[in-house]
Amino acid sequence: MAWLYIILADIVEIAWPFALKWSEKKPIWVPALIAAVSCLPIFFLLREAMKTLPAATAYAGFVGIGTVGTTIVGIALFGESANPARIGSFLLVIVGVIGLKYFAD
């Protein structure tokens, strides 16, 4: 269940940078409000995950999944670079997150 909390937190984590990107022509309070509101569920979900996972494992998994997810969304929706070195780098992150999950005990 802890990893489900991390994945749900990452969905919010992946969404808010792009919400900020889409709001770049809005008044400054719009991106600030988006960031503040999106952080609340992230904190709650990570707290729940850390009840059963070590804090370092939960946070590293959260950051790794968020990084890979943000990269995939950036490539798919915003035409960001998908060069082989970048793809290989985020594959290494995925391997690291899988290792954290299986070697957490």
CA 18, 31, 50 angle in degrees (round to 5)?
70
Contact residues for 20 (Cβ-Cβ < 8 A; gap 6+): 31, 34, 35
Domain that residue 27 falls in: 2-102
Domain count, the chain: 1
Average pLDDT per block of 10 residues along the chain, 105 residues long = 94 82 76 81 95 90 90 88 91 88 76
CA distance readout (Å), 25 to 35, 37, 74, 90, 105: 16, 19, 19, 30, 47
| pLDDT value of position 74 | 87
CA neighbours closer than 13 Å in the CB half-sphere of residue 58: 22
